Amino acid sequence: MSFTIAIDGPAASGKGTIARALAARFGFAHLDTGLLYRAVGALGGDPILAARELTPDDLRRDDLRSAAAGQAASRVAAIPEVRSALVDFQRRFARTEPGAVLDGRDIGTVICPEAEVKLYVTASDEIRARRRALELGADEGVILTELRERDARDAARDVAPMRQADDAVLIDTSTLTIDEAVELAINLARRAGA
């Protein structure tokens, strides 16, 4: 039987770092679902067609971690047909044996509502902007504006808006070290049977 860990939250909150650490700790597969949307956005053209024809090679593009790809991902993720085309892929991945960790915006609410563990990872806007600016070598003020715009778009979309699942455990990483946040997540997963 597979074990699914669903991690949601806004950009630069630490959810990807936690997801990768959980996958490594438990020997589970990991999927950063944002890469699916980043790849669709980066491919350009008709986003619905791009989502339907997305391949694993598309997820290996070098430009998927750029700010432009993040903004494109948020725009294409608001298109219901794009989301629909990518849901089945994500749900199949979630049942990878012996387990899978998926991180994104709607994993615990839409993609894997029956996940054995659900986490919602967040941090203050300023902390997230500082982290992303350091990662990208970009202006913190510009990043802060972009993060707030993206959060508003992700939370307001009609289909699968970003929100904390009712049964998700909230982890605010604003004042936690990476090790503290990872250890907290590992302990939560262990208690659930991972």
Annotated binding site for ATP: 9-17
d(CA 66, CA 18): 20
SS3 for 67-98 is: HHHHHHHHHHHCCHHHHHHHHHHHHHHHCCCC
The structure tokens listed for 101 are: 């960790």
d(CA 31, CA 38): 13
3-state secondary structure of 169: strand
Q: Which is it for strands 3-8 and 169-172: parallel, antiparallel or unpaired?
A: unpaired
Task: Return the H-helix or E-strand segment holding 5.
Answer: strand 3-8
Write out the E strands in 91-147.
99-104, 117-122
Peptide bond into 98 cis (omega under 30): yes
Q: Output DSSP code: residue 58.
A: G
Task: Return the H-helix or E-strand segment holding 170.
Answer: strand 169-172
Instruction: Please give the annotated binding residues, written as ranges.
Output: 9-17
